[in-house]
Amino acid sequence: MLSEAAVNEIKDIRKRYATARSCIMPCLYVVQKEYGYITEDGMREIAKILGVKPVLVFEVSTFYTMYNKKPVGRYHVQVCTNISCSIMDGEHIVDVISRKLGVKVKETTPDKKFTLSTVECLGSCGTAPMMQINDKYYENLNDTKVEEILNSLR
């Protein structure tokens, strides 16, 4: 069951749009904030609160990549491997992180602290190579910086 704070947030969200269905996307973020990923129960609860058929929530949650279908580590490390970052050796950054954490892409460390993913362009091409960890961007990366950043995350 969603917390009272979450339910209240959903009530606020409802005021922003002409239809209840529009609230599905922001409500999925509320569920993700609450549980760390999109749970089936969470989706059913959103559907009930908004008065929409559950399948409409399922559809949206599986279309957009930022909704986690499975639990992720406390720090979701997302490295861009699109063109500008690749020219600046983004692949190498992925290798460095992979070796340091001891996981392959799409895997989570055994202590559930880090999940490593590669993602498409994050709109930070001028400061490539770069990565996003949870909500924060880390730009102009090199081996040293990556080491520091990961060490600093406890």
Partner 1 sequence: MFEPVILKNINIPDSFKLSAYINSGGYQALKKALEMTPDALIQMVKDSGLRGRGGAGFSTGLKWSFIPKDATLQKYLCCNADEGEPGTFKDRAIIEYDPHQLVEGMIIASYAIGADTSYIYIRGEFAFGADRLEAAIKEAYQKNYLGKNILGSKFNHDMYVHRGAGAYICGEETALLESIEGRRALPRIKPPFPAHVGLFGKPTVINNVETLACIPHIINKGASWFASIGPAKSPGPKLFGISGSVNKPGLYELPMGTPLREIIYTHAGGMKPGKKLKAVVPGGVSAPMLTEKDLDTPMDFDSLAAKGTMLGSGAVVVIDDSMCIVKAALITHEFFHHESCGKCTPCREGLDWIVKVMRRIEHGQGKEGDIELLQKLCVDIFGRTFCPLGDGAVMALRGAFNNFREEFEYHIKNKRCMVNGNR
Partner 2 sequence: MATVKINGKEITVEDGTLILDAAKSAGFEIPTMCYHARLSKLASCRVCLVEIVGQKKLQPSCVTPVMHNMEVLTESPVVKSARSSMIELLLANHPLDCPVCDKGGECELQDVTFKFGPRKSPFGEPKRRFNEEDYILSPVIVQNINRCIQCKRCVRICAEVVGAGVLGSIGRGTGTQETSFVKEYLDCDHCGNCIEVCPVGSLMSRSFRYKSRPWDLSGVDTVCTYCGTGCQLTVQARNGEVVRVISNPDTGINNETLCARGRFGYSFINSHERLVTPMVRVDGKLEPSTWDKALDTIRTGLTNAIKMGEKIGGVASARLTNEELYLFQKLMRVALKSNNLEAGSRWNSDSVKEFIDVMGLKNGGVSIYDALKADTVLIIGTAISDENPVTDYIIRRLSSYRKMNIIIMSSRGLKLDSSAKILLRHKPGAEREIIGAITNIITGKSKGTSGQDNIVAAAEIIKNSNSVSIAVGNDVLRIASQLSYINDLTDSLKGLGKEVKLFPVLDRANQRGAWDMGVHPALLPGYKSTGEEGLGCDGIIQSALKGEVGALYIAGEDVVSDFPDGRAAREALGKVKFLIVQDMFLTETAKMANVLLPSASFVEKDGTFTNQEGRVQRLRRLYAPQGDVKADWEIISAIGETVAPSFGVKSATDIFNEIKEVVPMYRDISFEGLNGNGAILQLSGSSEGSGVVARFIGQNRRDNPSGLSPETVDPEYPFTLITGNHLYHSGRLSMKVDKLREILNEAIVEISEEDALVLGITEGVKVRVKSKSYEAYLTAKINSGTAKGVVFIPENFTDVLVNMFFKMGEGFPRVKVQLP
Q: Where are the beta strands (DSSP E) in the chain?
A: 75-80, 114-119, 131-133, 136-138
* Closest separation in Å from C-beta 111 to partner 1: 25
In angstroms, give the least distance from the CB of 1 to partner 1: 22
Q: How far is the CB of 34 from partner 1 (least distance, A)?
A: 16
User: Which residue's CB is nearer to partner 1, number 52 or number 100?
Assistant: 52
Q: Strands 114-119 and 75-80: what pairing?
A: parallel
Q: Of the candidates 44, 40, 37, 39, which has an alpha carbon nearest to the alpha carbon of residue 68?
A: 37
Site string for partner 1, 80-99 (x = CB under 8 A): -xxxx-xxx-----------
- Prior bond of 129 cis (ω within 30°): yes
Region from 3-11, 15-23, 92-100, 109-117 binding partner 1, contact rule CB under 8 A: 15-23
Interface of this chain with partner 1, residues 25 to 44, rule: CB under 8 A: 25-26, 28-29
Q: What's the rounded Cα separation, in Å, for the pair 28 and 125?
A: 28
